[in-house]
A = this chain, B = another copy of it.
Amino acid sequence: MATIKEVAQRAGVSIRTVSRVLNDNPYVADATRECVLRVIQELDFRPSAAARYMRTGQSQLIGFLTDELAQNAFSYDLIIGAQQTAWERQKLLFLLNTGNDPHVERRAINMMRDHQVEGIIYATMYHREIIRSQFPEDIPVVLVNCFADDRSLPSIVPDEIGGGRLATETLLNQGHRRVGFVNVAAQEPAPLGRMAGYRQALANYGIPFDAALVRFIEEPFEGLATSTYDCVLSLLEMDDPPTAIFCFNDMMALGAYDAVRKSNLRIPEDVAIIGYDNVEILAAQIHPPLTTIELPNFEMGRLAVRMLLGEAGSIQDGRPGQHMIECPLIVRGSV
């Protein structure tokens, strides 16, 4: 690879002039600039980012750390959103999946520091709280899908309550009055929030909460669809069965579909189903296509980069911004 020196020699100018051309400095004669540019082309010269960084302190690098995000299919859009936004700003993204191993995590953060990333985005697979102290003080961090115990780091999370409410109200809007909810039994923001949203929606419509309509899948969560199948079957066998079911996520909706079909009922005529997450590969392909609430992953990834670069509210009212992103309704054919 050619160096700036070779370019300078070949163009018959000084290194500084080449540097000027490289950085669009106006104080270069047009003729000189053209000549230099030509030589740069000929030599296929590209300035070294490392050397440039040494002087400017701008590495143009962003670290994207995940706990186990990338093991599952939900979050492509998060990565894509972040990557694309970084790209638009001429930054490169380091991807690193820690597998939730604290040791790996610590080393990963160090490795990113070694490469002087301008900041780190830390995204978790599930919406949860994390410990602030695992992150260094001297480097910007933006949290995605999680938040710091002491709220001392800017964070972006989905609005679970709003999403739960939207899902339920979508069903209520269609005239359903007996709305089942198949939730997961975990003390985490997602199940807790969606549950709260479910209750709010009921309250908004003046419908009393009926605990018999709410079911919880217990851990472990493998075979989620199958557990949901059983759950929904029992729901439909009630004396006063629900005519609509809100499933905690799309995978579970798959089980609900099977249960409804098993009961010789039709979707959405006899039972309406709504999911959560908008996993396209599932939701758009099953029959009828699943109406669901979208986890706005792309937007979250995008916002994370913007916040990291100081473009958007990484600080709000003098404190690290805690952003809640709305989860929109995706209408397909199951409601």
For the residues of A in contact with B, the DSSP-based class is helix
Contact B76–A46 (Cβ < 8 Å): no
- Residue of B whose beta carbon sits closest to that of A87: B96
| Interfacial chain B residues near A115, Cβ < 8 Å | 49-50, 61, 92
Asked if A243 is at the interface of the complex by the 8 Å CB criterion, the answer is: no
Q: Of A27-35, A183-191, A268-276, A282-290, which binds chain B?
A: A282-290
Q: Which of B1, B49, B113 contacts A138 (CB 8 A)?
A: B1
Closest to A225 in B: B285
Nearest-CB residue, chain B, relative to A138: B1
Q: How far is the CB of A83 from chain B (nearest CB, A)?
A: 6
Q: Any chain B CB within 8 A of the CB of A48?
A: yes
A224 contact from B54, B111, B113, B285, Cβ within 8 A: B285
- Establish whether residues A96 and B93, one from each chain, have CB atoms under 8 Å apart when the complex forms: yes
Scan A227-265; emit 1 where CB is below 8 A from any B CB, else 0.
001000000000000000000000100110010010000
Let me know if B254 and A286 touch, CB within 8 A. yes
- A residues contacting the other copy or chain, number (CB 8 A): 59
Known: A54-B54, A76-B70, A254-B286. A49 touches B93 (CB 8 A): no
Report whether A95 and B95 are in contact in the complex, using a CB–CB cutoff of 8 Å: yes
Cross-chain contact B110 with A46 (CB below 8 angstroms):
yes
Could you tell me if A47 and B114 are in contact, using CB atoms closer than 8 angstroms?
yes
- From known contacts A70-B80, A76-B70, infer whether A116 and B285 are also in contact, taking CB-CB under 8 Å: no
Rounded to whole Å, the gap between the CB of A53 and the closest CB of chain B is 5
Contact of A116 among B50, B61, B286 (CB under 8 A): B50
Q: Does A9 contact B (CB under 8 A)?
A: no
Q: Give the B-binding residues of A (Cβ under 8 A).
A: 1, 44, 46-51, 53-54, 59, 61, 64, 70-73, 76, 79-80, 83-84, 87, 90, 92-97, 104, 108, 110-116, 136, 138, 223-226, 229, 251, 254-255, 258, 261, 279-282, 284-287
Q: Can you list 30 residue pairs at the A/B interface with Cβ under 8 Å?
A: A1-B138, A46-B113, A47-B114, A48-B54, A49-B50, A50-B50, A50-B51, A61-B115, A64-B95, A70-B79, A70-B83, A71-B76, A72-B281, A73-B73, A73-B76, A73-B281, A83-B95, A83-B96, A92-B94, A92-B96, A92-B111, A92-B115, A93-B94, A223-B284, A226-B285, A251-B281, A251-B285, A255-B285, A279-B281, A281-B281
